[in-house]
Amino acid sequence: MQKSLRKYFAVFVLPTLVAFVIAFLLPFLFGLYLSFTRFTTVTNTQWVGLENYIRAFTDNNDFLHALGITAAFTVVSACSVNLLAFGLALLLTRGLRGTNLFRTVFFMPNLIGGIVLGYIWQLIINGLLLRAGVDITYDPKYGFWGLVVLMNWQMIGYMMIIYIAGLQNLPGDVLEAAEIDGASPWQKLRRVTIPMVMPSITICTFLTLTNSFKLFDQNFALTAGAPMKKTAMLALDIYNTFYGRIGDEGVGQAKAVLFFLMVAVIAALQLRATRSREVEQ
């Protein structure tokens, strides 16, 4: 079977592979190369070594500031999304009437695209700030917390679904045994439920971490970095660098490589967390 199938590489793999090479592999390798060059068109490049990487930090403070904002946003939204989603999942696995309807409602915002979400929340936040006579571009605080609220609205339903799946797989007898032993509801949660849904917690934590870290559309639509690029996260800063000023494309590409390396570190941590858990079981 293996041998007779092998001849058909061109039929089974080639279509995907051609698309993969064009859309991903060549752009990736060429992007890596361009980050070490100065260029305005891709055919006219000049090797400059690490200059772009140095300029990413020294031209202005944008990249470091974006990194700070992104890190803060990622931590805050990952914590809040997971806490709220887990809480909702606990409430929705008690066999209440109407559970399906609630689940449907809480999940729905997740399907709406980032650009649309950004404008919905811009309307709301500007409306709330109206009384103070300002709008979302007045203070970076507003944009930051607006984005946190938006992210919660979008992601809670998604994470809740994964937590519900984890909670429904809990063996009922363990909880029953804990109850007979006289465990309080809080003890049952702390000592039984949470340890047993740890796989779901790991998945959801990393999903929210990477999604928050890579956020672009929502950031772009809600504030576009206003005021003064103070709410621009990494992905938006890279976009601004690429398409902001002619001659900075190399710097943008260098920032993108650094961004990729940071995402890769998060992915590596995820792999390790998942692996070590597998060993335990």
Partner 1 sequence: MKNKSKRWQSIFLPAFLTVLSIFFLAPIFLVLMNSFKGQFYISDAPFALPDSQTFVGLRNYWSGIQKVDFFSAFGYSVFITVFSVAAIVLFTAMTAWYLVRVGTRAANGFYYLFVFSMIVPFQMVMFTMSKMANLLHLDNPVGIVLLYLGFGSGLSVFLYSGFIKSIPRDVEEAAMIDGCHPLQIFFFVVFPMLKPTAITVAILNAMWIWNDYLLPYLVIGSRYRTIPIAVQYLQGGYGSRDMGALMATLILAIIPIVVFYLACQKYIIRGVMAGAVKG
Q: Which of 27, 74, 26 is nearest to 253 (CA)?
A: 27
Interacting stretch for partner 1, rule CB under 8 A, among 50-58, 72-80, 126-134, 176-184?
A: 126-134
Subset of residues 128 to 167 that bind partner 1, contact rule: CB under 8 A: 130, 137, 153, 158, 161-162, 165
- Smallest gap from Cβ 16 to partner 1, in A, equals 4
Subset of residues 6 to 25 that bind partner 1, contact rule: CB under 8 A: 6, 8-9, 11-13, 15-25
| Separation of alpha carbons 244 and 198, rounded Å | 44
CA distance to 70, 76, 237, 258, per residue, from 65 (Å): 8, 17, 10, 14
Say whether residue 75 binds partner 1 (CB under 8 A): no
Hey, what are 191's tokens?
């000592």
Cis omega before residue 227 (within 30°)? yes
- Nearer to partner 1 by Cβ, of 192 and 222: the residue is 222
- Nearer to partner 1 by Cβ, of 193 and 239: the residue is 239
- Smallest gap from Cβ 191 to partner 1, in A, equals 20
Subset of residues 178 to 207 that bind partner 1, contact rule: CB under 8 A: 203-204, 206-207
Q: Which of 189, 109, 196, 104 is nearest to 149 (CA)?
A: 109
Say whether residue 73 binds partner 1 (CB under 8 A): no
| Separation of alpha carbons 25 and 16, rounded Å | 12
User: Which one among 220, 230, 231, 240 touches partner 1, defined by CB under 8 A?
Assistant: 220
- Smallest gap from Cβ 238 to partner 1, in A, equals 5
Say whether residue 176 binds partner 1 (CB under 8 A): no
- Nearer to partner 1 by Cβ, of 79 and 264: the residue is 264
| Separation of alpha carbons 215 and 147, rounded Å | 10
CA distance to 102, 108, 141, 210, 269, per residue, from 146 (Å): 24, 19, 8, 19, 29
User: Which one among 57, 107, 144, 145 touches partner 1, defined by CB under 8 A?
Assistant: 107
- Smallest gap from Cβ 190 to partner 1, in A, equals 19
